Structure 1
Amino acid sequence: MDVSPFAALLFVALLSLLLLFFRKGGSPSSGDGRRLPPSPPGLPLLGHLPLIGSLPHRKLQVMAAKHGPVMLLRLGRVPTVVASSAAAAQEVMKTHDLAFASRPRVRMAERLLSDYDMAFAPYGEHWRQSRRVSVLHLLSQRRVRSFRHIRQQEAAAMAGRVRRAGAAVNLNAVLISYTNGVISRAVFGDDGSYELDGGEKLAKLFGDFEELLGKATMGEFVPWLAWVDTLMGLEAKATRTSEEMGALLERIIADHRQRRRGSRREGDNHRDFVDVLLDVNEAEEHAGAGGGVPFDNEAIKAMILVMFAAATDTTYTTMVWAMAELINHPHEMRRVQHEIRAAVGVGGDRVTEEHLEKLRYLKLVIKETLRLHAPLPLLLPHETTEDTQLLGYRVPARTRVIINAWAIARDPATWERADEFVPERFAGDDLTTDYMSAQDFRFVPFGGGRRGCPGVAFAVPSMELALATMLYHFDWELPAGGASKLEMDEMNGLSVRLKATLHLVAKPWSP
């Protein structure tokens, strides 16, 4: 039964007549006299949950304009502080980073992952170990460079799929295929044994996993409405997906262990993420646990799942938004194509990663796309580990904290023409650095501080190469007879995506 959680929640609220009784808003004081953040009027029991809508980042921006850059909401039983300014984001991710460094318990993450997952795990030893393994062993510059051949092969295959598609191209399908190809080969290897029925079952399984991970369950916020999750089929789907995913990953890990026993280990530049994680596992077993947290199969599975979900969804979503913005801005499209084609030069037949360093305007386009369309506009929620403060307001321990990165990136107080696509606004930046500046909290598409996303170095070259390849080989336009401009409506999920499918006309170009 496909029922919107917001529709179900509103239905129950109407039945119980709670909409008739509004609680007075304001800025209540805590027990010690210090003021909590201001709070808009809410509903008894449900609080502000029915008020945030299907695109919460937009609704929260409107609420912040009225109540201030730090608000206290009651999402059912969950006290939640929303930070909607660069100054507030800086306090959360830098000034008081440690106090805000944990994660709340998220029901679907608990069902689908273990405490080892790097993204959703609470602050503690499990998270520290996962972060260390990811940064040192999986996402180092050397490791990311080792997958260059995969990215280039998948980009060439992507261009081939566009040529075979003819004039009308479903660019969503092309880009998701590229993204899945890159991350699948990086994580699992090149032998293809994981590709159940040509990869269709694998794609469906990971698609279900990502969809569930982006679902907010009723029972998490309002325990007496947990039955809604069962009615919607979320519990049954989560159980089925978790079991199927666990069985698949156990098989992949067992196959890798068997291969390692039966042959010499491949060179460092040809090992996938599972090999690297097994190296860590074997090294820790050899050294002895020493009373620490064991890095076992459950840890390996959790890290694989988070890596796959994060790398696939955010990369694909950003590329779709970038192409949509360029279609609506033909001058910028021509400028970036001229840059790419000049960099490849006469006699060149394809874009390689050696060309990417020369593509400064392409980097500006990607950065402006991320400003306007952060894949996770509210990032992942933080949770306070102790009583702390935010812009002078008291924030008690175990409070959920949301950073509205989307609202911060469109704040007219800090950005000129804040809602317009203007890549040149970043022209003065040092684009050799990553996307998590320790200084500029006006732009935080990947978060920052302890809980910032360490996968940026893996995602960015994948995006740059794919977009450069598409823009080098083809001229793009909207289908004839249709709208003259692409509608930029959003659709919520694990990430916020373009609602419309990106059907474009691709005209092959040759030097």
Structure 2
Amino acid sequence: MAGALGPVTNAIISSVFLLCNSPETMKRLQEEVRVTFETYEDITAEACQSAFPYLNAVIEEDLRLVTPAPFGLPRYSPGADVDGHFVPSGVTVQTCNFAAAHSPDYFFLPREFHPERFLQQTHQWYDRRFSNDSKHAVMPFSIGPRRCTGATIAYTELRLILAKMAWALDVELSSSGKKVSWEEDVKVYATYRFPNVWIKCKKAKLVSVVA
């Protein structure tokens, strides 16, 4: 469970920053959440498990751009062909989620934040520009027996936190936050090092928030 703390914290920071830099996306998220829930108390972990396509799309797009594990775990090749290339026995091989997520080979406008790419074609905000995206090219929490055991907890926390924020608050970047360049200021090592992202929050109009 503790292992999910870092990725969830990173995802909250990055998603808030990306949403603030995309007012139309923030507006759509707020609309979905505020129409769905009548009160702040209605927003529970159980309620957020239901179908909220745009909220889920925002989370998936954030995890694509800022995937929790930028690099996969290294493995020794047993001596095998990989994509038409022979990799000799003993050579260390490793995937790179970050590179795949930002590659035009798999995604249209790969460096831009567009949750619409993760919506079903029947959704009102679906954008056909992303119809050829290979969305399974990136697995934020890996797959198979090595899949992160905290993935379910992480998704639950992200849905709950972002839904409550979108319902209760109007959020924007502060003057210093607007100076942050995500491309230049975020550093990627084994994990991420984020710049300080300062925001301004105010109580959303026409809602009653109970602490």
- Fold conserved (TM > 0.5)? yes
2:158 to 463, 477, 486: 463
Q: Whole-Å Cα distance in 2 between the matches of residues 483 and 399 of structure 1?
A: 43
Paired residues of 2:45 and 2:157 also in contact (CA < 8 A):
no
| 2:99 counterpart residue number | 407
Paired residues of 1:490 and 1:496 also in contact (CA < 8 A):
yes
1:389 to 75, 81, 94: 81
Paired residues of 2:65 and 2:111 also in contact (CA < 8 A):
yes
| 2:127 counterpart residue number | none
Aligned length: 190
- TM-superposed CA distance for 1:327, in Å, is 0.9
Matches within 5 A, 1:208-287: none
Note closer, same or farther for the CA distance 1:383–1:464 as it changes in structure 2 (3 Å cut): farther
1:491 to 178, 187, 190: 187
| 2:40 counterpart residue number | 349
In structure 1, give the amino acid aligned to 2:40. Answer: D
SS, match of residue 170 in structure 2: strand
In structure 2, give the amino acid aligned to 1:495. Answer: T
Paired residues of 2:106 and 2:135 also in contact (CA < 8 A):
no
Paired residues of 1:343 and 1:358 also in contact (CA < 8 A):
no
Q: How high is the TM-score relative to the length of structure 2?
A: 0.80
Matches within 5 A, 1:320-339: 320-339=13-32
Please state if 1:421 is matched with 2:113.
yes
Paired residues of 1:314 and 1:375 also in contact (CA < 8 A):
yes
Please state if 1:505 is matched with 2:200.
yes
Matches within 5 A, 1:354-393: 354-356=46-48, 357-384=50-77, 386-393=78-85
Q: Whole-Å Cα distance in 1 between the matches of residues 177 and 151 of structure 2?
A: 35
Q: Whole-Å Cα distance in 2 between the matches of residues 485 and 361 of structure 1?
A: 28
- TM-superposed CA distance for 1:482, in Å, is 4.3
Q: Whole-Å Cα distance in 1 between the matches of residues 28 and 14 of structure 2?
A: 18
Please state if 1:317 is matched with 2:13.
no
| 1:37 counterpart residue number | none
SS, match of residue 94 in structure 2: strand
In structure 1, give the amino acid aligned to 2:116. Answer: E
| 1:446 counterpart residue number | 141
SS, match of residue 171 in structure 2: strand
Q: Whole-Å Cα distance in 2 between the matches of residues 369 and 472 of structure 1?
A: 19
- TM-superposed CA distance for 1:451, in Å, is 2.5
Deviations 1:414-446 (A, max 9, x none): 2111111110011128xxxxxxxxx96412222
Note closer, same or farther for the CA distance 1:440–1:372 as it changes in structure 2 (3 Å cut): closer
Please state if 1:477 is matched with 2:168.
no
Paired residues of 2:67 and 2:98 also in contact (CA < 8 A):
yes
Please state if 1:340 is matched with 2:36.
no
SS, match of residue 314 in structure 1: helix
In structure 2, give the amino acid aligned to 1:467. Answer: L
Matches within 5 A, 1:55-66: none
| 1:25 counterpart residue number | none
In structure 2, give the amino acid aligned to 1:504. Answer: I
In structure 1, give the amino acid aligned to 2:119. Answer: A
Q: Whole-Å Cα distance in 2 between the matches of residues 362 and 494 of structure 1?
A: 28
Note closer, same or farther for the CA distance 1:473–1:400 as it changes in structure 2 (3 Å cut): same
Tell me which protein shows more helix as a share of its residues.
1
Note closer, same or farther for the CA distance 1:330–1:447 as it changes in structure 2 (3 Å cut): same
Q: Which has the higher contact order (CA 8 A, sep 6+)?
A: 2
SS, match of residue 32 in structure 2: helix
Paired residues of 1:410 and 1:418 also in contact (CA < 8 A):
yes
Over aligned residue pairs, what C-alpha RMSD do you find?
2.2
Deviations 1:90-132 (A, max 9, x none): xxxxxxxxxxxxxxxxxxxxxxxxxxxxxxxxxxxxxxxxxxx
SS, match of residue 476 in structure 1: strand
Paired residues of 1:344 and 1:355 also in contact (CA < 8 A):
no
Taking every aligned residue pair, what percent have the same amino acid on both sides?
29
Q: Whole-Å Cα distance in 2 between the matches of residues 452 and 392 of structure 1?
A: 26
Paired residues of 2:17 and 2:173 also in contact (CA < 8 A):
no
- TM-superposed CA distance for 1:334, in Å, is 1.2
Q: Whole-Å Cα distance in 2 between the matches of residues 416 and 492 of structure 1?
A: 22
SS, match of residue 81 in structure 2: strand
Gaps of 5+ in 1: 1-306, 430-438
Q: How high is the TM-score relative to the length of structure 1?
A: 0.35
SS, match of residue 507 in structure 1: strand
Q: Whole-Å Cα distance in 2 between the matches of residues 313 and 383 of structure 1?
A: 28
Paired residues of 2:177 and 2:197 also in contact (CA < 8 A):
no
Q: Whole-Å Cα distance in 2 between the matches of residues 452 and 354 of structure 1?
A: 23
Q: Whole-Å Cα distance in 2 between the matches of residues 444 and 358 of structure 1?
A: 21
SS, match of residue 403 in structure 1: coil
Instruction: List, as ranges, runs of 4+ consecutive aligned residues in structure 1 with deviation greater than 3 Å.
Output: 481-486
Paired residues of 2:33 and 2:163 also in contact (CA < 8 A):
yes
